Structure 1
């Protein structure tokens, strides 16, 4: 588990090349460096397909959206992908209004995102303590 004062990240790996990064708390200018560095580290470690589980997100500002776009670009440069899952209503609206939801695939649940990537039955995988 990776933690900042306003953000907690938990990783699980349902398949070799896929990591689910559960994001809890606030995604803002102070916490995005933690999110960015952890996601890019997972990609460098051999999980180029990242699913951000956003269900526990309480707040997200424009720096969070910009970070998601940066993670997407980094993943695509390494033949990977970024998917968003479980965005709460306030974040889903922000993704829709800004167009980020059209740029990055969004799904109602993590299991749905995993199925779209090709993980059978949206396998949950094991959590990693960081």
Structure 2
């Protein structure tokens, strides 16, 4: 485990944003993840996809950060979706029951394609 965490916003379109995360989500780094995600939501992107491809470790602080992000996204009439969740982390999501409230997909493309199309503006 290290104190390294990389956060990169890789896509923004309307209310949707994709945040790619790499490294460890632990007590030292979870606050930075939460802050970055909440900043993206506050910038008008309440539907957030977290691409977890590069995650090497996640402790309870990381899961707590995910819950906080999900709550803030929901409060902003948005959602939190996980993509490319590492197997070890996916098992913990299942064990804790979080997999029942956080949708996850094998990759970012699948997560984006699963999003419902936005309704057209009324004429």
* TM-score relative to the length of structure 1: 0.84
RMSD (CA atoms):
1.5
Aligned residue in 1 for 2:74? 76
Whole-Å Cα distance in 1 between the matches of residues 45 and 10 of structure 2?
11
Write the distance in 2 (CA, Å) between the matches of 1:5 and 1:97.
Answer: 25
Cα displacement (A) at 1:14: 4.4
Are residue 60 (structure 1) and residue 58 (structure 2) matched? yes
**CA–CA distance in structure 1, aligned partners of residues 12 and 110 of structure 2:** 13
Which runs of structure 2 are paired with 1:8-47 in the superposition (5 Å)? 8-47=6-45
2:115 alignment partner in structure 1: 117
* Alpha-carbon distance in 2 for matches of 1:118, 1:41: 24
The gaps in structure 2 that reach 5 residues or longer are 118-123
Structure number with greater CO (CA < 8 Å, separation at least 6) is 1
- The one of 73, 90, 96 equivalent to 1:92 is 90
What residue is the counterpart of 1:49 in the other structure? Answer: 47
CA shift for structure 1 position 13: 2.1
Gaps of 5+ in 1: 120-130
- Which 4+ stretches in 1 moved above 3 angstroms? none
Aligned residues: 116
Give per-residue Cα distances to partners, 1:25-70, cap 9 Å, x unaligned: 0000000111000000000000001000011100000111111011
